[in-house]
Structure 1
Amino acid sequence: MSSDKYLGVDIGGTKVHLGVVQHGQVVQETRFETPMDAPREVILAELTRQLAPLLTDDVAGIGIGVPGLVDEVNGIVHNVQNIPSWREVHLRQHLAGHFEQPVYMTNDANAFAVGEKMYGQGQPYANLVGLVLGTGLGGGIIINHQVYGGTLASAGEFGSVPYLDKTLEDYCSGKFFAQRTGRPGTEWYARARRGDAEALAMYAEFGWHLGQALHIILYALAPEAVILGGSVSKGFEYFRSSLHESLAAFPFKQVTERLVVAPSALGNAAVLGAAALCHMKQLTSHHPALAS
């Protein structure tokens, strides 16, 4: 593992998390609230101001995860959830010009998958999917050791796939608990930890639906591993059995027998993933064989 430091940036709709990453660990970090309703120039200026103290001479580059459509080639953010003014922001040009550092960008779910590949449980696998089970359902794809973003980093949006009467996101994210009961997933998680029978039944149903989502992912991509992140993944022990029961109906047994499904063990996954994107891109540029 390289000893270089990378700066990971997780841009969210309500907050921005910055972290200096070395040896797969966040060694310095800061957070600030996203000025959601401000003009794009104000948000860019605040981001630049917050980045400056972290960009010491030994930082080798900046990696950024954004919850929206991202032109990875040209470094343009086309939209960010909950930030109306960020509809066509030339973020790489702005930051690279200001700090004279290489800047790499992708969707936040893709960054999560890269973080698992570089620093987490995805390290042994050439092909994996990172699923973020939070307020929504997002996915990042690693193919042959490299992140695959597709057009505008939008590949892996499995949550939008039609399923039953709605979409996979309605059954395989925090929306499942909120829409079914009117109470948040955090409440159901707390009840499940106490052994509450109703909560355990809810998680069992959730796991069955998530298994059906994995059917779709297996048909399309056949990854070696699926790593689960996001707040809902904390309840993995409560839906593990039903997920595997759902997977048992998949017709290609040799595929499911080899499949690894596990929750992420990374702390600060979003920032680590953003930094890992920078690390991965620089490794590829220095060793082109890694991309083949």
Structure 2
Amino acid sequence: MEKPTVLGVDIGGSHITAALVDLEKRALIQNSIRRNAVNSQQNKEELLNAWCEVINDAFGTVPKSERNIGIAMPGPFDYENGISLIKDQDKFKSLYLINIKEELAKRLQMEPSNIKFINDAAAFMQGEVFNGAAKGYTNALGLTLGTGLGSAVSINGIAKDAALWDSKFLGGIAEDYLSTRWFVNKYFSLTGKKLAGVKELAAIANIDPYAKQIFNEFGRALGHFLADIIKEKKAEVVVLGGNISQAFNLFAPHLISNLKAFHLDTEIKLTRLNEHAALIGAASCWDLVAK
């Protein structure tokens, strides 16, 4: 049976991105990517209509009878039934307890069963397993390092949200130390200067000893955090994504040396698919179902 072309959709607090994915070639179909900014504070009708506009545009000429969608959504969310459980997060308040699957199906004139949902961190990992940096590995761990800490594990090709963000770590939780705000706060505590984010810090790391010190400290902390999880999950590879991973060369030496101190030589890889990982991962839900 020929594998279907599926629309992969990535929904975040400020955007929606969609693209057609060729499951046979395990790749995005060129020129099908559509992206729009979305205000997550909007009411239900405005939000859902904005999403549907991008989805319809990305489908292009694909007949309605042949449309399947895989959607990467942040949690908490009832992924099986398509119901939003997000509240107290300053986003999507108008969608709390709404059956998103049925609402989208109605607007898109398709069956609810043609729409599947996956956790956004799991979608990133699923994409990397499907045709990215984790392809071919039995046990893999993925982290997205940015404004928050996303995490997922893949076992035998199936990725699931690992929800490590609130793990106890260094007297707080992991996200306190492994996210953008840690870099910003740390630099401010050392210098009294406020930077916008990690990109700005990376730009001065070669000339600012405080910036260099911060990346070294982050690498050690990340290695310390990963050591127990790698052992517990028997991870053969760790795939890093998110904005912070773009400064990998600045924190990698201390990350790797700290893992070696724990007698681990697990491969650490950067995302191969970048922002396309979640799109491909969401769409690949249909390939997993086909099997």
Q: TM-score, normalised by structure 1?
A: 0.85
CA drift of 1:109 comes to 0.9
8 Å Cα contact 2:19-2:33 kept in structure 1? yes
Distance verdict in 2 for CA 1:99–1:38, change over 3 Å: same
Cα distance in structure 1, aligned partners of 2:16 and 2:176: 26
CA drift of 1:176 comes to 1.7
Distance verdict in 2 for CA 1:197–1:38, change over 3 Å: same
Q: Counterpart of 2:52? A: 48
1:88-237 correspondence to structure 2 within 5 Å: 88-97=97-106, 98-100=108-110, 102-148=114-160, 155-182=161-188, 183=195, 184-192=197-205, 194=206, 196-237=208-249
Report the residue type matching 2:73 in the other structure. Answer: V
8 Å Cα contact 2:238-2:269 kept in structure 1? yes
1:77 aligns with 2:84: yes
CA drift of 1:41 comes to 2.4
Farther-moved stretch of structure 1 (217-226 vs 59-68)? 59-68
Farther-moved stretch of structure 1 (17-26 vs 212-221)? 17-26
Distance verdict in 2 for CA 1:5–1:226, change over 3 Å: same
Q: Deviations over 1:28-73 (max 9, x none)?
A: 1222221322221221122122211322327652111112212121
CA drift of 1:159 comes to 1.8
Consecutive unaligned residues in structure 2, runs of 5 or more:
189-194
CA drift of 1:26 comes to 5.0
Q: Counterpart of 1:61? A: 68
CA drift of 1:116 comes to 0.6
Q: Counterpart of 1:152? A: none
Q: Counterpart of 2:269? A: 262
Cα distance in structure 2, aligned partners of 1:285 and 1:20: 18
Report the residue type matching 1:96 in the other structure. Answer: A
Distance verdict in 2 for CA 1:35–1:175, change over 3 Å: closer
Q: Deviations over 1:105-127 (max 9, x none)?
A: 12211111011111211111121
1:106 counterpart SS class: strand
Q: Counterpart of 1:29? A: 33
Farther-moved stretch of structure 1 (236-245 vs 99-108)? 99-108
Consecutive unaligned residues in structure 1, runs of 5 or more:
149-154, 288-292
State the superposition RMSD in angstroms: 2.1
CA drift of 1:191 comes to 1.2
2:98 counterpart SS class: coil
8 Å Cα contact 1:103-1:278 kept in structure 2? no
1:18 counterpart SS class: strand
8 Å Cα contact 1:70-1:105 kept in structure 2? no
Q: Counterpart of 2:7? A: 7
Cα distance in structure 2, aligned partners of 1:142 and 1:225: 10
Q: Counterpart of 1:86? A: 95
Cα distance in structure 2, aligned partners of 1:72 and 1:57: 25
CA drift of 1:4 comes to 4.1
Q: TM-score, normalised by structure 2?
A: 0.85
